[in-house]
Amino acid sequence: MEGEFPDYERVIPSEFPLEARVAAPALRDSLKRVKVLADRNNHRVDLVFSGGSLEVVAAGDLGRGSERLEAEVPEDAEMLLAYNAEYLLDALGPVPQTARLRFSGPASASVVQDEDDAGYLAVVVPLRV
C-alpha cells in the first residue's frame, strides 16, 4: 500500500492523571448488563472513579443501572467519564485478564492496554457531556 500512514501517536495523550487496573472480563460483563438501560442513541455509560473504586452507571428512558467493580484505583481518584459502551467493549475485547486503563480527562482520549501484552493498545474517546 503506497502513501504515508497518519501519525497516530499524536492522538495518544502523553500524561494520564488517572490510571486503573481492572479485570477485563468483569468490566466487559458489567458494561453489557448496564448498557441495556443506556440511551439508545449514544449508548452512554459513565465510569465513576471515587474513593478508590470504580462504578459503571447507565441511565436512559427505561431507568438507571449501576454496578461497582473491584479495581486498583488510587484512593484520592475523582473522575467521571462518559463513553459509548459499544466502543469501550470493542477496546476491551482482546484483553483476556487485566486491563490497564489510563485516563487523561473527560475531554481527552483514553487508553486501554492489556497488562500482560505490552503490544496491545486501544484509544477510546469519551463522549462530550
Q: At what angle do helices 85-92 and 24-34 cross, to 10 degrees?
A: 160
> CATH number of the domain that 47 lies in?
3.10.150.10
pLDDT value of residue 1: 65
Task: Name the residue range of residue 89's domain.
Answer: 17-124
Q: How many domains are there within the chain?
A: 1
Residues of the chain with pLDDT > 90, as a percent, come to 69
pLDDT value of residue 10: 81
- 35 found inside a domain: yes
- 7 found inside a domain: no
DSSP single-letter state for residue 1: -
**Cβ pair 26, 52 in contact under 8 A:** no
- 51 found inside a domain: yes
Mean pLDDT score of the chain, rounded to an integer? 91
- 4 found inside a domain: no
The model's pLDDT over 14-61, given as tens digits with 9 standing for 90+, comes to 899 999 999 999 999 999 999 999 988 889 999 999 888 899 999 988
The torsion of the CA quartet 104, 17, 25, 70, rounded to 10 degrees, works out to -140
- 10 found inside a domain: no
